[in-house]
């Protein structure tokens, strides 16, 4: 859409027509500027796919790629149905047209970080000003124990109080991350923008972190599924309604029991490519059970044991002028 205005117009129109809320909570509004409006091209999905295939990718830049990745991450929503752009991107002919673009992107030197494992140097993000310093979370074992207790308690309440009909108008916990532990990213400032469920923060304190120990790398869906099979935690009742909305699947759900995972691994890292290939989907664990990578970010690491420490590099203060401004700027010391 950024590379070709005709593709932008056609994709926008297609996405609106395919959106479940089209004509109700989502409508098109135009302004009469006195100028002649561009005619709607009226392409079919196959014609749109052909236009995508014909794009000149010779000069595609890192800026456009990072902006597209940011938009994709910010559009992740696990508590509602796919929107029109999701549906359009999922059409077989459109998905096929994306394949050569994906090959081109993965071959670019600037995008090699998508494949890389956790770097030694990491960055924790505190969404507060550097004038309000706070220590990094400690005692991860205690935090994971509380997390596991809370998850089991919510699952028990949900199985008792919530309807089993997945279509019921109900929402609750939708993420699958180990809350309460140190969380880090491998790149700054990119990590400030690649945030699911972003809440519009305008300031951040970036903290250098290093950690030792064994890191479990999630590069593919199979890596996530292996954790779910070895350390399953039942979350069917608590996730049923939200994960049905986003995946369309009705059935049993599990996620990794992070308290037990910590007995074997010190950290868990989701690579950029692992995120793009697997997040937001119903990942089959066995014949009647699936799981969802939800609430993660590309190149995100969660530390499960007490091995991560703030490093000697001074903390950094970053800000952006407004919620509408995408670029982050490091403030002088």
In this prediction, residues 168-182 reach a mean pLDDT of 95
| Beta-bridge partner residues of 174 | none
In this prediction, residues 228-249 reach a mean pLDDT of 98
- For residue 171, pLDDT over 90 is answered with yes
In the chain, the percentage of residues whose pLDDT exceeds 90 is: 78
What distance separates the 2 farthest-apart alpha carbons in the chain?
67
Can you give the residue ranges of every domain in the chain?
Answer: 5-114, 121-330
Q: Given pLDDT bands bounded at 50, 70 and 90, which one contains residue 28?
A: low
The residue with greater pLDDT, 42 or 329, is 329
Distance CA 91, CA 96 (A): 9
Tell me how crowded residue 37 is: count the other CB atoms within 10 A of its CB.
Answer: 8
- For residue 38, pLDDT over 60 is answered with no
Across the chain, what does the average pLDDT equal?
Answer: 92
**CA count, 13 A, side-chain hemisphere, 277:** 18
- For residue 129, pLDDT over 50 is answered with yes
In this prediction, residues 218-242 reach a mean pLDDT of 98
Token pair in block for residue 275: 């995120």
Distances (CA, A) of 202 to 159, 254, 317: 39, 35, 11
- For residue 326, pLDDT over 80 is answered with no
Token pair in block for residue 170: 């109900």
**CA count, 13 A, side-chain hemisphere, 213:** 21
Phi–psi pair at 267, nearest 5 degrees: -150, 160
Tell me how crowded residue 285 is: count the other CB atoms within 10 A of its CB.
Answer: 20
- For residue 35, pLDDT over 60 is answered with no
> 216: part of which helix (H) or strand (E)?
strand 215-218
- For residue 285, pLDDT over 50 is answered with yes
Token pair in block for residue 101: 């673009």
């Amino acid at each position: 859409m950024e590379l070709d205005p005709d593709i932008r117009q056609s994709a926008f129109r297609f996405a609106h027509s395919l959106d479940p809320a089209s004509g109700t909570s989502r409508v098109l509004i135009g302004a009469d500027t006195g100028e002649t409006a561009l005619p709607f091209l009226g392409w079919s999905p196959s014609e749109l796919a052909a236009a995508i295939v014909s794009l000149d990718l010779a000069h595609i830049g890192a800026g456009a790629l990072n902006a597209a990745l940011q938009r994709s991450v910010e559009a992740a929503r696990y508590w509602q149905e796919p929107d029109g752009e999701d549906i359009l991107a999922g059409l077989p002919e459109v998905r096929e047209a994306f394949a050569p673009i994906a090959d081109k992107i993965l071959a670019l030197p600037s995008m090699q970080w998508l494949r890389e494992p956790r770097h030694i140097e990491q960055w924790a993000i505190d969404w507060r000003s550097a004038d309000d310093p706070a220590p990094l979370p400690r005692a991860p074992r205690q935090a994971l124990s509380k997390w596991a207790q809370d998850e089991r308690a919510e699952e028990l309440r949900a199985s008792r109080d919530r309807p089993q009909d997945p279509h019921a108008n109900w929402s609750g916990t939708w993420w699958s991350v180990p809350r309460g532990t140190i969380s880090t990213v491998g790149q700054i400032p990119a990590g400030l923008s690649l945030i699911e469920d972003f809440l519009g923060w305008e300031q951040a304190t970036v903290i250098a972190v290093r950690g030792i120990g064994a890191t479990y790398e999630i590069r593919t869906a199979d890596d996530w599924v292996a954790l779910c099979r070895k350390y399953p935690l039942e979350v069917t009742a608590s996730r049923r309604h939200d994960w049905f909305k986003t995946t369309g699947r009705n059935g049993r759900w599990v996620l990794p029991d992070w308290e037990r995972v910590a007995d074997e691994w010190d950290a868990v890292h989701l690579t950029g490519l692992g995120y793009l290939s697997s997040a937001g989907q119903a990942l089959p664990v066995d014949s009647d059970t699936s799981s969802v990578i939800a609430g993660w970010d590309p190149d995100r690491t969660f530390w499960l044991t007490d091995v991560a420490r703030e490093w000697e590099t001074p903390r950094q203060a970053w800000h952006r002028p407004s919620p509408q401004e995408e670029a982050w700027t490091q403030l002088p010391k």
